[in-house]
């Protein structure tokens, strides 16, 4: 059996809230036998098929089996799992550097050198997944945590929507957060590893400018902006110092046809991520933080 059925409180001391999701709460927990701290993700089980609250047991089993298959420095590791009557508790590696989202809120936008390092780390974690035919399908700043404030070291933390993509199998039913979903998700067309690459384009755009490329006044408007690929770098206040390399990187990801988007390997060898010449390196550095005076 995948889940222990003893009481989690017998083995872990439950601490304070450190995060919450739609149907889950994350609390700091301490393993009694070792004194080590972890993150306990308490996921409410769906009580009946008619209900829309809670998570289907099979979806929790899928998240656990994907977490067990992955092993990478920038992907959260699973230490233990318990099943109680109303909920499942995943004991996850504890990350305390805060969400990339909150870092962005304080930093507004980051200079290209720093942004490129962040994106490279996210791409390395994503490569580990894509090489195993696993796609995340919910990449967004909230699901990316900082290991600590001063490095670009990140951790992917939430695999609730992740799927194994079997060749020929058709996945159409996933719906992540409007700002980050690819056109094929909105149009209920088949999803693929390339669906994650769209989200990398959106996250990079936000890292560089602090703006969300497709965000509208409501979800409907956001969806219209996404399906129309309605984004630009024209807003001079935010992109005047952005390099052509960075714009080229994003333009190869925010493409309607998933097959035309750069793959994770192509992104890792793009000159914005892996500058080949002094000139390309300088291009990345000349974009500077417009320091608010
Ligand atoms: C919120 C969170 C999740 C997983 N690990 N640490 C913190």
* Contact between residue 119 and residue 107 where contact means Cβ atoms under 8 Å apart: no
Q: What is the per-residue pLDDT for 106?
A: 85
Q: Is the dihedral of CA 69, 98, 4, 21 positive or negative?
A: negative
* Contact between residue 240 and residue 86 where contact means Cβ atoms under 8 Å apart: no
Active site residue 59: no
**How do residues 279-289 score in pLDDT, each as one tens digit?**
888 888 766 54
Q: How many Å lie between the centroid of ligand 1 and the Cα of residue 222? A: 28
* Contact between residue 173 and residue 92 where contact means Cβ atoms under 8 Å apart: no
**How do residues 188-220 score in pLDDT, each as one tens digit?**
999 999 999 999 999 999 999 989 999 999 999
**How do residues 118-138 score in pLDDT, each as one tens digit?**
999 999 999 999 999 999 999
- C-alpha distance from residue 138 to each of 55, 73, 175, 178 (Å): 16, 19, 8, 10
Q: What is the per-residue pLDDT for 285?
A: 75
Q: At what angle do helices 193-209 and 112-130 cross, to 10 degrees?
A: 170
Band of residue 1 on the pLDDT scale cut at 50, 70, 90: low
CB distance 157 to ligand 1 below 6 Å: yes
Which of 138, 217, 251, 257 is an active site residue? 138
Determine which residue's CA is closest to atom 1 belonging to ligand 1.
19
- The whole-angstrom separation of Cα 205 and Cα 184 is 20
- The whole-angstrom separation of Cα 88 and Cα 78 is 13
CB distance 245 to ligand 1 below 6 Å: no
Q: How many Å lie between the centroid of ligand 1 and the Cα of residue 112? A: 27
């Amino acid at each position: 059996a995948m889940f222990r059925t003893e009481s989690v409180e017998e083995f872990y001391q439950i601490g304070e809230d450190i995060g919450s999701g739609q149907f889950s709460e994350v609390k700091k927990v301490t393993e009694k036998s070792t004194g080590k701290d972890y993150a306990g993700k308490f996921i409410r089980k769906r009580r009946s098929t008619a209900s829309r609250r809670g998570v289907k047991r099979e979806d929790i089993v899928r998240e656990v089996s994907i977490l067990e298959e992955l092993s990478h420095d920038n992907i959260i590791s699973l230490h233990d799992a318990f099943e109680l009557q109303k909920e499942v508790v995943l004991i996850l590696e504890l990350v305390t550097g805060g969400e990339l989202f909150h870092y962005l809120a304080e930093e507004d936008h980051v200079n290209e050198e720093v942004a490129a390092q962040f994106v490279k780390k996210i791409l390395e974690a994503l490569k580990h997944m894509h090489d195993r035919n696993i796609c995340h399908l919910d990449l967004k700043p909230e699901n990316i945590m900082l290991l600590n404030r001063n490095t670009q070291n990140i951790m992917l933390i939430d695999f609730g929507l992740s799927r194994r993509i079997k060749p020929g199998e058709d996945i159409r039913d996933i719906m992540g957060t409007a700002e980050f979903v690819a056109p094929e998700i909105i149009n209920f067309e088949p999803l693929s590893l390339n669906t994650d690459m769209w989200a990398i384009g959106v996250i990079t755009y936000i890292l560089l400018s602090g703006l969300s490329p497709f965000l509208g006044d409501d979800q409907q408007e956001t969806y219209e902006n996404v399906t129309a690929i309605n984004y630009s770098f024209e807003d001079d206040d935010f992109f005047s110092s952005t390099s052509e390399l960075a714009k080229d990187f994003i333009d190869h990801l925010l493409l309607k046809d998933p097959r035309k988007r750069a793959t994770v390997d192509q992104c890792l060898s793009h000159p914005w991520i892996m500058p080949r010449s002094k000139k390309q390196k300088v291009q990345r550095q000349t974009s500077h933080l417009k320091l608010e005076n």
